[in-house]
Amino acid sequence: MDMANASVGRFLGTALAAALLLLLTGCEDDGAADAAEGGATVVVAPGRPGEKARTLTPEQAARERPDDSPNAADHAYVRNMTEHHRQALAMSALAPDRAAADGVKRVAERIAAAQAPEIGAMDKWLTRHPAPAPAPGGHDHAAMPGMATPQQLEELRGAKGADFDRLFLKLMTAHHEGALKMAGEALAQGNNVAVEEMATEVVATQSAEIHRMRAMG
């Protein structure tokens, strides 16, 4: 299943969930019609193309809501993207003292302003949805797409001026491209709506930043 099809499927599921939560009064379904006539709250669920809408009781609507329970792909994305973001923050923190171009400093500021709150949101998500910790040595964060190597980070720390600007843009562009790949995998394989929203935000924000950095390079 590719990312586009998965996203469409989740969008339709989310739309159905939203419709099921729209509280109205009406009468089309027998059981719900009786409830509506009695003054009880019913829920109108849109039918499939060519079919009439259905009215449901709140209990029926709750049973039909799509299950967005986090799966392994959701947990892996949040856990790994948290570490991915932390490296981006560490790289961005070097810019104020080492960058020569104001544009590079502004890019670093935007990255810090966006990704620090995202880390906070992901940490809260993991608290709400705990999962077994991966086995020791079971995942190498350095192998995640776009991660700078220890040698590259050391080179960045030792660079100043135009050399820093050039290396920062190169490494951060690759870093963002890796984040887009990770977000795409989460959108294609995950199941949780909150994770989908976080991944979609990463795609939107970091795609724009890649465009800016390429224009500066």
Model pTM score: 0.71
- Contact by Cβ (8 Å): 97, 173: no
Q: What is the pLDDT of residue 63?
A: 64
Dihedral of the alpha carbons of 12, 18, 21, 22, in degrees to the nearest 10 = -110
CA distances from 23 to 35, 39, 69, 126, 177 (A): 13, 13, 24, 31, 42
pLDDT of residue 138: 53
pLDDT at 27: 36
Percent above pLDDT 70 for the chain: 69
Model pLDDT, residue 64: 60
For 55, phi then psi, to 5°, come to -105, 135
Assign 141 to helix, strand or coil. Answer: helix
**What is the pLDDT, as a whole number, of residue 54?**
72
Find the mean pLDDT for residues 192-206.
Answer: 97
- CB within 8 A of 101, min separation 6: which ones? 162, 165, 216
The pLDDT of residue 68 is above 60:
yes
Q: Summarize pLDDT for 115-170 with one digit per residue, the tens.
A: 999 999 999 999 999 987 766 655 567 789 999 999 999 999 999 999 999 999 99
Give ∠ CA 161-95-207 in degrees, rounded to 5: 110
Domains defined along the chain, listed by start: 3-64 (no CATH), 72-132+141-216 (1.20.1260.10)
Chain segment 51-64, per-residue pLDDT in tens: 777 776 767 655 66
The rounded Cα 17 to chain-centroid distance in angstroms is 19
Measured distance CA(208)–CA(46) in Å, rounded: 36
Of residues 89 and 14, more confidence is placed in: 89
Note the helical H segments in the chain.
3-20, 30-37, 58-64, 72-92, 95-98, 102-128, 150-158, 161-189, 193-216
Cβ neighbors of 173 (< 8 A, separation 6 or more) are 210, 213, 214, 217
pLDDT band at 217 (very low <50, low <70, confident <90, very high): confident
Output the pLDDT for position 83.
Answer: 97
